[in-house]
Amino acid sequence: MSSASAPLVLLAAGGTGGHLFPAEALAVALEKRGVIVDLATDHRAAHYKFPARNVHLIPSATVRGHNPIALAKTGITLTLGIAKAWSLIGRIKPAAVVGFGGYPTVPPLLAASWRGVPTVLHEQNGVMGRANRALASRVTAIATSFPKLTRVDPALERKIMFTGNPVRPMVIEASRTPYVAPADGEKIRLLVFGGSQGARVMSEIVPKAIERIPAPLLARLAIVQQARAEDIAEVQGTYAQLGVAAEVAPFFADLPARMATAHLIIGRSGASTVAELSAIGRPSILVPLPHALDQDQFHNAGVLQDAGGAVRIEQRDFTPERLAAELSRLTTDPAALYQMAQAAKSAGAPDAAERLAELVIKIAGI
């Protein structure tokens, strides 16, 4: 099929990893099927290396609070975004538009629905977010990351299809590494991260928990930890004083590969993190981001905990004492770690990108 005759699908995703990673995985799966992909996003993703023919920046804004002036500015920005998306869709004529959540997906999906273009909405979390709830009644189909979606309008059930949350090719590659629990006397590899922007709570709690680990276990630990730039020196200093081998950095480009070599992972429970943990199959201690309006990370972590693949600790309970106890319990029980790894893997959907691509092609009629 020549590029001139190949169908085009427009993906719409906010400029964070949680939205861009599954969109990237779908782009790869669609291109394998001869489909051209364009991306509509916001300024945050302007320099992200996305596998698309063209990247279109669409104005968008998040609805926050009830301040009349702020709401008016948000309304104006979204209106401008819808106008630009309307023009874009009329010009490039996509066979379908696929949204991955967040307010940057609102203008392209609204414009597509008004133009009669087939639309697919992908919900990464276990509970539907505000932007997706606003769009759900207008789209052609809704794809979900988890078999059960919490707090869904029964009228939408007929649109819903479980596909799983697409993961990047590097995650699929990492998933081929089998889990091997640490044997007696071997190093125990601990990976700590807090999402694409890091998390101060990890820098505050994890080193203090490590201080409380019994000496024989402490000597076996090898830690890789993501930390904010301003926290790195303190975190490294604590581990150096304890004599613990540690690599601390603000970002790891090869995070999936590091997940594959870890014996135990401590992190947040964003949708992409949970999808990658389950695709690769690694035991974890998950600390959901607190105070989120939809409590999406709490629900995400619950899916892995219910499967037996994770321990969920709410942030109010995430103390050095509690974490030290969990680390001591898990790292001295290789059989438990192995069982958790297998349980996490059983909850995964490594073919999610392929399943979502087939749904998009069906909805688009291509």
Per-residue pLDDT at 62 exceeds 80: no
| Whether 322 contacts 313, CB under 8 Å | yes
DSSP state at residue 348: -
The 10s digit of each residue's pLDDT in 275-318 is: 999 999 999 999 999 987 678 999 999 999 999 999 999 999 99
Q: In terms of Cα–Cα distance, which of 94, 82, 72 is closest to 135?
A: 82
The distance between the two most distant Cα atoms of the chain, rounded to a whole number of Å, is 66
Phi, psi values for residue 322, rounded to 5°: -65, -45
Per-residue pLDDT at 44 exceeds 90: no
CATH of domain 172-346: 3.40.50.2000
Q: How far apart are CA 169 and CA 344, in angstroms?
A: 19
Q: Which two tokens stand for residue 149?
A: 């979606």
Q: How far apart are CA 171 and CA 233, in angstroms?
A: 30
Phi, psi values for residue 101, rounded to 5°: 90, 165
Residues written for the chain: 366
Distances from the Cα of 8 to the Cα of 60, 84, 94, angstroms: 23, 18, 5
Q: How far apart are CA 89 and CA 96, in angstroms?
A: 10
The alpha-carbon radius of gyration of the chain (Å, integer) is 21
The 10s digit of each residue's pLDDT in 188-202 is: 999 999 865 557 899
pLDDT score recorded for residue 30: 98
Q: In terms of Cα–Cα distance, which of 53, 49, 59, 51 is closest to 14?
A: 59
| Whether 287 contacts 315, CB under 8 Å | yes
Q: How far apart are CA 97 and CA 40, in angstroms?
A: 10
Phi, psi values for residue 186, rounded to 5°: -80, 160
Q: How far apart are CA 269 and CA 273, in angstroms?
A: 6
| Whether 174 contacts 349, CB under 8 Å | no
Indicate the class that CATH gives domain 8-166+350-364. Answer: alpha beta
Q: What is the dihedral of CA 103, 109, 113, 118, to 10 degrees?
A: -150
The 10s digit of each residue's pLDDT in 164-189 is: 999 988 999 999 999 999 999 999 99
Q: What is the dihedral of CA 262, 266, 271, 274, to 10 degrees?
A: 50
Per-residue pLDDT at 72 exceeds 90: no
pLDDT band for 75, please (50, 70, 90 cuts).
Answer: confident
The 10s digit of each residue's pLDDT in 110-158 is: 999 999 999 999 999 988 888 888 899 999 999 999 988 877 888 898 9
What is the distance between the terminal CA atoms of the chain, rounded to a whole angstrom?
A: 12
- At 245, is the secondary structure helix, strand, or coil? strand
| Whether 167 contacts 146, CB under 8 Å | no
Phi, psi values for residue 150, rounded to 5°: -80, 145
Instruction: Write the DSSP assignment of 182-223 as a string of letters.
Output: PPTTS-EEEEE--STT--HHHHHHHHHHHHTS-HHHHTTEEE
- Check if 8-166+350-364 and 172-346 are the same fold: yes
To 5 degrees, how large is the angle CA 292–CA 295–CA 301? 125
Provide the H-helix boundaries in 15-67: 17-32
- For the chain, give the mean pLDDT: 92
For 293-312, give one letter per residue: b (16+ CB within 10 A) or e: ebbbbbbbbbbbbebebbbb
pLDDT band for 108, please (50, 70, 90 cuts).
Answer: very high
pLDDT score recorded for residue 174: 97
Q: How far apart are CA 267 and CA 276, in angstroms?
A: 12
Q: In terms of Cα–Cα distance, which of 250, 261, 244, 262 is closest to 202?
A: 250
- Predicted TM-score (pTM) of the model is 0.89
The 10s digit of each residue's pLDDT in 226-260 is: 999 999 999 999 999 999 999 999 989 999 999 99
| Sheet with 245-249: strands ordered across | 245-249, 221-226, 188-192, 264-267, 284-286, 310-312
Q: What percent of the chain has pLDDT over 90?
A: 75
What ranges do the domains of the chain cover? 8-166+350-364, 172-346
Q: How far apart are CA 31 and CA 20, in angstroms?
A: 16
